[in-house]
Amino acid sequence: MGKASVIIYITLAVLFLLLISRSTTNNKSHGQRHRHRRLKIRSNFNFTPPAAADPHRVHDHAAAFDPLVADIERRREDKQWEHHYFQTHHPEFHSESTQSIPAPGHESQPEWEDFMDAEDYLNDEEKFNVTNRLVLLFPKIDVDPVDGYVSETELIQWHLQQSQKEVLHRTERDMEVHDKNKDGFVSFAEYEPPSWVKNSDNDSFGYNMGWWKEEHFNASDADGDGLLNITEFNDFLHPADTNNPKLLQWLCKEEIRERDSDKDGKVNFKEFFHGLFDLVRDYDEEGHNTTHESDDAVEAPAKKLFSQLDKDSDGYLSDVELLPIIGKLHPSEHHYAKQQTEYIMQQADTDKDGRLTLAEMIESPYVFYGAVFDEDEDDDYGYHDEFR
Ligand SMILES: *[C@@H]1O[C@H](CO)[C@@H](O)[C@H](O)[C@H]1NC(C)=O
Ligand SMILES: *[C@@H]1O[C@H](CO)[C@@H](O)[C@H](O)[C@H]1NC(C)=O
Ligand SMILES: *[C@@H]1O[C@H](CO)[C@@H](O)[C@H](O)[C@H]1NC(C)=O
Ligand SMILES: *[C@@H]1O[C@H](CO)[C@@H](O)[C@H](O)[C@H]1NC(C)=O
Ligand SMILES: *[C@@H]1O[C@H](CO)[C@@H](O)[C@H](O)[C@H]1NC(C)=O
Ligand SMILES: *[C@@H]1O[C@H](CO)[C@@H](O)[C@H](O)[C@H]1NC(C)=O
Ligand SMILES: [Ca+2]
């Protein structure tokens, strides 16, 4: 016993010394400029459909710029999803398997290792060279027109394509679960709302009231054949991104239902002002502050917008009258693609001509990998200096 632990201690000490010496001597292979940068694989997988969980939440999962990174993230997410699915749908297997595994948390170990491997891969400049990645991706983005520059529009389109791919992938996964007879369609009888919808009682959720109900289903069924194909099912899950007018109108109706505190079926100015208006404004001018402004200063523009929207001037907003701003109340993937693009242009467009050359992109590679870039590392500067 005693001998074994001494050996373990010595081994640990040697390993520790090796680690220290590596971090002090072996600093050449890491480029000077990117020493503290580390690409991270994001893992903000959420089992509640985001739109329903909180339609006004901050979007935290814009798709990765690089399809290769997106692929790694997707595979990781699929694995988590399978794990979760298996646990909720086959609890009997789950309890059996935990009996044979002694240590709690043991089963998540392999996932964690995969994750670290992938992250190490991304941070190994020999294997994952961001310069080469940008050279490879540039011609795929510079397509409309092919002119040697990436315009803002081209970059928005690129980001949009990436996020739509992600969204559709998740829908396909969900479809597999809900399409019980595997005919490629989801019928309302087949469709089972998520368990948290069934369990939540009627009044507690102001949101979500009509979500996942038959009316929502019917509105998504664009051709009215009683079945949702993959496109319609994708719209069902992400109504803000649809161009199905029936579904957009349903979304407006839900919005009214949510905002209509006196339950008269319409939204009056007071209900508009305390709720909707802030959302529209937040969307237009980010970073403004509501708290310090006097009510009068806000009420004037609110009244103006209200009367513009109130087409029949009856003093109330109906669902149809909400249509012009529904995209602001439920931001679409296009909105996030635009946001992401504006940030990149601001950071990488060095000569401020409104478009990016390949050279400009290579000059600021980490802006593109921004979503997976860990800036906290910079705080460790002093700490690292001590080791040198
Ligand atoms: C580590 O980097 C410093 C500069 O930051 C350099 O002076 C030193 O020679 C490097 N050490 C090795 C072993 O490469
Ligand atoms: C990345 O690729 C570029 C272009 O091929 C090359 O100049 C650079 O040295 C590579 N970086 C690393 C760390 O291998
Ligand atoms: C919700 O309301 C419906 C009728 O509107 C009722 O049939 C149902 O039992 C209610 N569910 C819960 C959980 O309260
Ligand atoms: C949905 O559509 C079906 C016909 O496809 C109809 O029978 C049903 O009443 C509709 N439900 C609602 C809530 O509109
Ligand atoms: C699904 O049906 C809609 C019509 O409701 C159609 O426009 C769309 O192309 C279909 N999608 C696929 C993948 O067939
Ligand atoms: C918020 O508004 C007040 C008055 O309008 C202004 O003095 C203050 O600086 C603003 N705060 C921020 C964070 O912009
Ligand atoms: Ca259909």
Is residue 76 within 8 A of residue 43, CB to CB? The reply is: yes
Please tell me the distance between residue 185's alpha carbon and the centre of ligand 4 in angstroms.
17
pTM over 0.75: no
Task: Assess whether the C-beta atom of 44 lies below 6 angstroms from ligand 3.
Answer: no
Alpha-carbon distance values, 320 to 256, 316, 326 (Å): 10, 11, 10
Q: Which ligand is nearest to the CA of 200?
A: 3
Q: Could you check whether the bond before residue 145 is cis, i.e. omega within 30 degrees of 0?
A: yes
**Spacing, Cα 43 to ligand 2 middle (Å):** 28
| For the ranges 79-83, 190-194, 269-273, the one whose mean pLDDT is highest | 269-273
Q: Which atom of ligand 5 is nearest to the CA of 223?
A: 5
Side-chain-side CA neighbours of 371 within 13 Å: the count stands at: 21
The backbone torsions φ and ψ at residue 136, rounded to the nearest 5 degrees and listed phi first, read -70, -40
Q: Tell me: the pLDDT tens digits for 279-323?
A: 887 666 655 555 556 667 778 889 999 999 999 999 999 999 999
Residues with beta carbon inside 6 Å of ligand 4?
A: 214-215, 218, 226
CA of 222 to the centre of ligand 5 (A): 8
Mean pLDDT of the chain: 78
Closest of 341, 307, 313 to residue 150, by C-alpha:
341
Residue 211 has pLDDT above 70, yes or no: yes
Residue nearest to atom 2 of ligand 5 (CA): 229
CA distance 350 to 315: 49
**Residue in 290, 291, 292 to alter for ligand 6 test, most ligand atoms within 8 A of Cβ:** 292
Give the largest CA-CA distance in the chain: 89
Atom 14 in ligand 4: which residue has the minimum CA distance? Answer: 215
Query: Which numbered ligand comes closest to the C-alpha of 286?
Result: 6
**What is the per-residue pLDDT across 354-387, written as a single tens digit (0 to 9) for each?**
999 999 999 999 889 864 555 554 444 433 333 4
Measure 227 CA to ligand 5 centroid, in angstroms. 11
Q: What is the C-alpha separation between 222 and 212, in angstroms, rounded? A: 16
- Helices of type H across 106-192: 109-123, 130-141, 152-178
**Residue 261 CB less than 6 A away from ligand 1:** no
Residue with tokens 């906290």: 376
Q: Which of 62-76, 78-92, 225-239 has the highest mean pLDDT?
A: 225-239
Mean predicted confidence (pLDDT) in 11-32 = 56
Which residue from 121, 126, 130, 132 has its CB within 8 A of the most atoms of ligand 2, so it is best to mutate?
132
What is the best residue among 21, 28, 385 to mutate for testing ligand 1's pocket, by most ligand atoms within 8 Å of CB?
28
Q: Which sign does the torsion angle of CA 159, 165, 171, 174 carry?
A: negative
Q: Point out the ligand 4 atom lying closest to the alpha carbon of residue 218.
A: 1
Helix (H) or strand (E) holding 187: strand 186-187
Q: How far is the CA of 295 from the centre of ligand 6 (A)?
A: 14
- Top mutation candidate among 185, 218, 246 for ligand 4, by most atoms within 8 Å of CB: 218
229 lines ligand 5 (CB under 6 A): yes
Q: Is the CB of 289 under 6 A from ligand 6?
A: yes
pLDDT tens profile 110-140: 454 566 678 888 888 888 899 999 999 999 9
Whether ligand 3 lies within 6 angstroms of the CB of 199 is answered as no
124 or 108, higher pLDDT? 124
Is 201 touching ligand 3 by the criterion CB < 6 Å?
A: yes
- What's the mean pLDDT in 227-248? 95
Bigger pLDDT: 287 or 39? Answer: 39
149-188 pLDDT, tens per residue? 999 999 999 999 999 999 999 999 999 989 999 999 999 9
**The pLDDT value given to residue 113:** 57
Q: Which residue has the higher pLDDT, 323 or 31?
A: 323
Q: Who's near 168: CB < 8 A, 6+ residues apart?
A: 230, 234
